[in-house]
Amino acid sequence: MKLEIKDRPGQLVAALKPISDVGGNIIAVIHQRDPGSASDTLDVQIVLNLPEGRLEHLIDLIREQGVSVVRVGEERLLHRQEVIIIGHLMHTDLSDTVDQIDRTGFAEVSEISVVMPAIDQPSSAHLTIRSVSSEDMGKALEILHRTAKEKDLLVIKPLEECT
């Protein structure tokens, strides 16, 4: 479940309490404050087990708390890693590079942003990769590094690990 809450004290508790009220069990809560964001809201992802037939009531209770329910459903790609690749991305078929990861079934490129300064200069792309497990993330990054080596691309991984 993905929620959008107001960035104020007590809002996370208000969003989570209804889960226990309907007999649910919280497995994980994932949220990250972006200090550079001008938004007064936070995205929160919740992994939970819920008794059969209680989802609609839970959604109503959460909305009564002033919390927006953005998405509900099974989320299997819980691990996230951001990388930057630099090189002649269009000439080496960026879509093929992305497909190498997407075809695995255990990881995929969920976001991509490309900057192309000039046709004869290297481009850069910011990729967000999502995977089923941290082990699968390692495999996806190996695929990316192998593909980048074949295509003479540079891969830069951030210093901070994402979840």
Q: Are residues 101 and 147 in the same domain?
A: yes
Nearest to 4 by CA among 39, 37, 35, 36: 39
* Domain end marker among 37, 52, 71: 71
- 40 plus 91 within the same structural domain: no
pLDDT score recorded for residue 129:
92
Mean pLDDT per 10-residue section of the chain, whose length is 163 residues: 86 91 86 66 83 91 90 73 92 89 86 89 92 88 95 83 51
Domain of residue 66: give its range: 2-71
* 57 shares its domain with 90: no
Tell me whether residue 162 is in a domain: no
CATH number of the domain within which 109 lies = 3.30.70.260
**Within a domain: 161:** no
Task: State whether 97 and 66 are in the same domain.
Answer: no
Q: Are residues 141 and 84 in the same domain?
A: yes
The predicted pLDDT at position 21 comes to: 93
- Cβ pair 158, 83 in contact under 8 A: yes
Residues 153 and 92: beta-carbon distance below 8 Å: yes
**What pLDDT sits at residue 82?**
92
What per-residue confidence (pLDDT) applies to 161? Answer: 54
Q: What is the pLDDT of residue 156?
A: 94
pTM of structure: 0.54
Among 62, 82, 76, 64, which Cα is nearest to 107's?
76
Q: What is the pLDDT of residue 79?
A: 84
Query: Closest Cα partner for 126 from 107, 111, 144?
Result: 111
Q: What confidence score (pLDDT) does residue 86 get?
A: 95
Q: Which two tokens stand for residue 77?
A: 């790609």
Domain count, the chain: 2
At 150 the pLDDT is 95
